[in-house]
Amino acid sequence: MSGKLRLGVNIDHVATVRNARGGARPDPVRAALLAIEAGADGITAHLREDRRHIRDDDMRRIKAAISKPLNFEMAATEQMLDIALSVAPHAACLVPEKRTERTTEGGLDVVGGHNHLKPFIAELSRGGIRVSLFIEPDREAIESAASLRAPVVELHTGAWCHAVELGQTEKAASEFERLRAGAAHAARLGIECHAGHGLDFDTARRISGLPEIAELNIGHFLIGEAIFVGLAESIRTMRKAMDEGRRTVQGA
C-alpha cells in the first residue's frame, strides 16, 4: 500500500491574511487554483465556527472553481452539517474545535464522542461525502473510528512535529512510533490513512516513508514559506520532499 502519496494543500491562512485587513485580497480561490497548478492533489479548508479564516462563501467559491477534490474540515455541529451537505465537497474531515484555541490542538475524542459522531458520519456519507476523522494516532481511537465505519482517518502529527521542532529527540522518536503503529493499525482495519498538522519539508519527507499513509494535509508552513519563495515554489518543494520520503519505502 505505497502508491502515490497525495498532497492536500490547506489554504486557511490565505484567508487569515485577507481578514486581517477586510476586503477581498488575497483571495483563497486564487491560492487554490495556483496550488493545483503547482501540484496539489486537493484543497483543504476549515470552516470554523467563528469564521476566523475561511468563510461560508469561500467554501462555495472554492468548490465551484477547482477541478480537484475539496476536503471540508468541520466540527460535528448541525450548522456545519447543513453547510457541508449544501456545498457537497468530495470529503469532510471532522475535527474537534474550541473557540479559544489557536489551531486544532488535538484529535477528536472518538471514544467518548462515539454516539455524538455517529449520525454526522451517517448523514455525510448519505450525502456522498467521504468522511475522515482527525484523531490521535492511538489504537483505541482507530478502533473506534472503524466501529463508526469511517472510511478514512487523519492522524494528528502535531505532537510529533512539535517535539521535532523543540529538538526533543526521545519524545520525537516515541511520537513517530505512535504514528507508525497507528498507520499500520488503520491499514490492518481497512481504513485509509491520512496525516497532517504542523508538517514542514523535513517532517513531511520523514512521514512520507510510512507506506500506509495515502495523503498529507499541509497548510500553515506552506503559506508561510510562500512569503519567501512564492506559493507555487513552496508547494513544488513540498511535493519533492514527499516523493523523496516515499522512495525510501521498499517497492515504491
Task: Give the separation between CA 127 and CA 211, rounded to whole angstroms.
Answer: 30
CB of 137 to ligand PXP, least distance (A): 13
Mask of contacts with ligand PXP, 48-87, x by CB under 6 A? Answer: -------------------------x--------------
Binding to ligand PXP by residue 199, rule CB under 6 A?
A: yes
Question: Known catalytic residue: 244?
Answer: no
* Smallest separation, CB 68 to ligand PXP (Å): 17
In order of 66, 70, 155, the CA distances from 42 in angstroms are: 9, 6, 18
| Alpha-carbon gap, residue 47 to 181, rounded angstroms | 30
Q: Is 10 in the site for ligand PXP (CB under 6 A)?
A: yes
Cα angle for residues 210, 154, 242 (degrees, 5° grid): 40
* Strand partners for 210: none
Q: How far is the CB of 250 from ligand PXP (least distance, A)?
A: 27
In this structure, the number of other CB atoms found within 10 A of the CB of residue 220 comes to 16
- Is 136 known to be catalytic? no
Query: Among 18, 46, 178, 185, which residue interacts with ligand PXP (rule: CB under 6 A)?
Result: 46
3-state secondary structure at position 160: helix
| Residue 73 annotated to the active site | yes
Q: What is the amino acid identity at position 121?
A: I
Instruction: Report the residue from 80, 89, 104, 160 that binds ligand PXP according to the rule CB under 6 A.
Output: 104
35 within 8 A of 8, measured Cβ to Cβ: no
Query: Given the rule CB under 6 A, which of 27-35, 82-90, 179-187, 197-205 is the region that contacts ligand PXP?
Result: 197-205
Residues known to be catalytic: 46, 73, 197
